[in-house]
Structure 1
Amino acid sequence: MTRLSGITPSGPAHAGNYLGAIRQWAREGGAGDLYFVSDLHAMTTPYHPQKLRARTRELLAVLIAAGIEPDTVFVQSDLMPQLGPLTWVLECACAFGEAARMTQFKEKSADRTHEGTPVRVGLFTYPVLMAADILLQGADEIPVGDDQAQHVELARVLARRFNSTYGEAFVVPRAVMPRAAARIRDLADPTRKMAKSSSDAAGTLLVLDDPDLLRRKIKRAVTDSLGRLEYRPVEQPGLANLLEILATCQGKSPREVAAGYSSYGEVKDAVAEAVVEEFRPLRERTHDLLSDPAELDRVRAQGGARAMERGAHRLTTVLRLSGVG
């Protein structure tokens, strides 16, 4: 059984990434699970090349520092020699209407954050690249949220279509819902989730922020004027977000932790200390890895080589069946 999960370096890793996914991967990952940094996906909207390269290395270091086995981790662009031809084969099997129905393309192409910037073709076709990511590694299960389930369905369609038209080459993957995890919200605007690409750094807890900065951000977190210390996500989203962060760090439920405090200030103090201690070993280990670039390069090269080895036979089969190999 192979499960495949990816994370895009569209910005620095934050509390939502770590508490909601990375920590869970490290603690609960199975023997066949694979994890990758999807740097090619970060190119679908305007980006800075040097920042992309630096964030990719940093995120790779964070995954390993979190405790994920290095031999299960790789960087997407290191597989370009295989992903390029496979993506082209899959694009030639994908109908225009199938790609056009992708909800994320509709939403991101309508985003006015980069008004005046042309919508990139890569934004339209990247679900096919995502299908190539999945199918190249022979993944059986893809843990995804609702926003990515449609992309996994496209991978299923393309795998079945290729297998029935040209011959058996692909495992047909299935989307699975990951175990319920923390859904961390932005501290400055708890109506939206914490995001790597957020322009408001004050509401985002980065895993590599120093302790004093983490404390300042949490102390300034938006709450409310109701003065009711209860877990009520709809009525009190800011307070609920803080309780969820604290509960996740402590391994309890938000309602349990709410019962232990009598003021918002006490909650913020507790959240600050819990987050600082939760991130401390991760931050230290990540800095150690980043300060030894030769070792990080070695780990990255080994991960890429293993991923290429896993996909080599499958790509050879696909090209042969397609008539071009």
Structure 2
Amino acid sequence: MTKATVLTGITTTGTPHLGNYVGAIRPAIAASKDANVSPFYFLADYHALIKCQDPEKVRQSSLEIAATWLALGLDTSNAVFYRQSDVPEITELAWMLTCVTAKGLMNRAHAYKAAVAENEQGGENDPDKGITMGLFSYPILMAADILIFNAHKVPVGKDQIQHIEMARDIAGRFNHIYGEHFVIPDAVVTENAATLAGLDGRKMSKSYNNTIPLFEPEKKLRKLINKIKTNSLEPGEPKDPDGCTLFGIYQAFARPSEVDEVRKLYADGIAWGEMKKLLFEYINDHIAPARERYEALLQAPEHIENELQEGAKKAREISVPFMKQLREAVGISRIGA
């Protein structure tokens, strides 16, 4: 039986946080050990350039994200783990796809429409002010990421479903013109994926500057957890765990029996300071072994680079012959060959 190819990209624009871990990293690493699938995970460093023009930040983020995945036990014997920029066939394919993609399709992309709407609401005469072709063409590069390996399934959040639909449209258009070359990918949306609230109660996100970095040192982790916003209920007053940031984070890490015990503590009126202490100790114990591996990996960047180069080698064993086939299909080949 042919294995299903599953592909996930991680944009290199920040430090992984607890929300990234429970929502995407933890399930992806578990999937990397599944012998029934062929998983591809990549550092989306070209995507990072769309919203980050700080070279050092992109470099540091690439290091931290790669170290995070390896420290948490990514199985690189089964999964292909690579850097997007190390597979030049991706950007070559992106141009081929650009040449068959209708501009009208890109006009409908949510990110582009949101940027235009922001300009219009701000009273700008030019609705495209400040919008780069990188932002406008982002869905085409994402389609190339997926189609170069003929991924069957692409796990995404609800906000990314449109991009998979666009990749399907683009693949279908290319197939119609040049013959059947691409698998039509499916979006995989995990409805029960954990979404954590951040320090201020909103969704944990770099955009809100409310994150708790996954491998924050012990003292800083304690300080951040102590900063989490709570209500004014006093010790001894019953508290509702649902909708509480502290409980939500605890629930994402703890076993069901432990979650039930903490629910009882809320009903009994646990003090916020006591709950923050309990949460800190639980999270710290959970991540301490991986944090130690992470710190060791940061001190050995050559090991990380070797892993990425090995992954790129495996990726290009697929992408190079496939690109040769695609060049032939579109009429780009040696004369007389």
Q: TM-score, normalised by structure 2?
A: 0.86
CA shift in 2, pair 1:279/1:254, >3 Å: same
The Cα shift of 1:41 comes to: 1.0
Structure 1 moving runs of 4+ over 4 Å: 108-112
1:268 is the counterpart of 2:266: no
2:205 to 188, 195, 198: 195
| C-alpha distance after superposition, 1:168-197 (max 9, x if no partner) | 11111011112622201121x213x21234
Partner residue in 2 for 1:92: 99
Alignment length, in residue pairs?
Answer: 311
Partner residue in 2 for 1:321: 329
| C-alpha distance after superposition, 1:65-120 (max 9, x if no partner) | 111112421111111x20121000101111011011111222356568xx998221
- Within a 5 Å distance, the mapping from 1:139-150 to structure 2 comes to 139-150=151-162
In the aligned structure 2, how far is the partner of 1:320 from the partner of 1:285?
46
In the aligned structure 2, how far is the partner of 1:251 from the partner of 1:164?
50
| C-alpha distance after superposition, 1:31-62 (max 9, x if no partner) | 31121111111111242011101211210111
Query: What residue ranges of structure 2 are gaps of 5+ in the alignment?
Result: none
- Within a 5 Å distance, the mapping from 1:174-185 to structure 2 comes to 174-178=186-190, 180-185=192-197
Give the fraction of aligned pairs with identical amino acids, expressed as a percent.
35
Partner residue in 1 for 2:250: 246
- Whichever of the two has the greater Rg, that structure is 2
1:49 is the counterpart of 2:52: no
CA shift in 2, pair 1:216/1:108, >3 Å: farther
Partner SS state of residue 2, structure 1: strand
| Greater shift in the superposed pair: 101-110 or 137-146 | 101-110
In the aligned structure 2, how far is the partner of 1:253 from the partner of 1:111?
46
Partner residue in 2 for 1:4: 7
2:241 to 228, 231, 234: 231
The Cα shift of 1:264 comes to: 2.1
1:290 to 298, 309, 312: 298
In the aligned structure 2, how far is the partner of 1:285 from the partner of 1:120?
39
| Greater shift in the superposed pair: 142-151 or 240-249 | 240-249
8 Å CA contact 1:247–1:253 kept in 2: the answer is no
CA shift in 2, pair 1:41/1:266, >3 Å: same
Query: What residue ranges of structure 1 are gaps of 5+ in the alignment?
Result: 234-239
The Cα shift of 1:255 comes to: 6.3
- Within a 5 Å distance, the mapping from 1:72-221 to structure 2 comes to 72=79, 73-79=81-87, 81-108=88-115, 118-178=130-190, 180-187=192-199, 189-191=200-202, 193-198=203-208, 200=209, 203-221=210-228
Partner residue in 2 for 1:258: 263
- Amino acid aligned to 2:26: R
1:39 to 39, 45, 68: 45
Partner SS state of residue 170, structure 1: coil
